[in-house]
Amino acid sequence: MSRKALIAANWKMYKTPAEAKAFVDAFLPLVAGHDRDDIALFPSVTSLATVVEAVKGSKVAAGLQNMHFAEEGAYTGETSAVMLKAVGATHTLIGHSERRQYFNETDEVVNKKLHTALKHGIVPVVCIGELLHDREAGLTADVLVRQLKGALAGVTAEAAHSLVIAYEPCWAIGTGKTATPKMAVEAHAIVRAELANLLGAEVAKATRILYGGSVKPENAKDLCCEEEIDGALVGGASLKPDSFAAIVKY
Ligand code: PGA
């Protein structure tokens, strides 16, 4: 079964609505007619509606970088699944390593968010990845399996059909240090084997596993050409239309 790759831009805490609109206006002509991959933009919450509006009529999707697990409630500063959908967004990142590191997001929280996203028909991009000291201690597989087990607790194969996993080794995020294609392929194979264990072989085969961590125009092709790598989650190099378009069209 062939998986259509997804190339996704994680803009983190960058871009005002006006800057987001200028990006989309410049970016869409650069990827017009590009059908090989799915493309998604993850702006900040204040730019989401602007981006949804600006990508209308194109094949580019828009999503949030984070979403709360509750339907609604007294959660100051948070955004719900219903709010995300009400502005016309379709995707959300869940459990990005910066959420885990700076906002105490645990595997349990990631799990709750995943259940909520799936319930609301939102495409979840669940981020996992080891710290440098995990890798140096030979614990990469243990960490990935633990994070996957935690994220997917109680998720059925039927519910998981839209699931996307992003493997992002923490030591490669924003550091300029990219995992080699060999390292990424090894990690993706671990992830796919655990997906088979948790959700069955069919879902594991169909699930897209993206690589993230210092992806740029110069290394996108080497990474994305690997059969095990089904696209990329791009931070820094997704902030400029020409740079992100070059990654999409590697
Ligand atoms: P980076 O970020 O491409 O800047 O390393 C990737 C990410 O955090 O998703």
**Residues 59-76: pLDDT tens digits?**
999 999 999 999 999 999
Nearest-atom number in ligand 1 for the CA of 234 is: 3
121 alpha carbon to ligand 1 midpoint, in Å?
25
Inter-CA distances, 81 with 76, 94, 238, Å? 15, 12, 25
159 alpha carbon to ligand 1 midpoint, in Å?
28
223 alpha carbon to ligand 1 midpoint, in Å?
14
Nearest-atom number in ligand 1 for the CA of 173 is: 5
Contact, 128 vs 144, CB < 8 A?
yes
| Average pLDDT rounded to a whole number, residues 159-178 | 93
pLDDT at 174: 86
Nearest-atom number in ligand 1 for the CA of 214 is: 5
What residue ranges line ligand 1, CB within 6 angstroms?
Answer: 10, 168, 173-174, 212-215, 233-237
202, pLDDT greater than 60: yes
158 alpha carbon to ligand 1 midpoint, in Å?
30
Instruction: Give, for ligand 1, the residue of 6, 66, 214 to mutate: max count of ligand atoms closer than 8 Å to Cβ.
Output: 214
Q: Nearest to residue 87, comparing CAs of 20, 38, 36?
A: 20
The tens digit of pLDDT for each residue in 236-247 reads 999 999 999 999
Instruction: Give percent of the chain above pLDDT 70.
Output: 100
The tens digit of pLDDT for each residue in 104-143 reads 999 999 999 999 999 999 999 999 999 999 999 999 999 9
Domains delineated in the chain: 6-248 (3.20.20.70)
Give the pLDDT band (50/70/90) at residue 146: very high
Q: Which residues are catalytic?
A: 96, 168
pLDDT at 2: 81
User: Which tokens sit at 212?
Assistant: 């993230």
The tens digit of pLDDT for each residue in 203-221 reads 999 999 999 999 999 999 9
97, pLDDT greater than 60: yes
User: Considering the chain, what is the average pLDDT of its residues?
Assistant: 97
Give the pLDDT band (50/70/90) at residue 58: very high
pLDDT at 1: 53
How far is the C-alpha of 51 from the C-alpha of 74, rounded, in Å? Answer: 27
In the chain, where does DSSP find H-type helix?
17-31, 48-55, 81-86, 97-102, 107-119, 132-136, 140-152, 181-199, 201-206, 217-224, 241-248
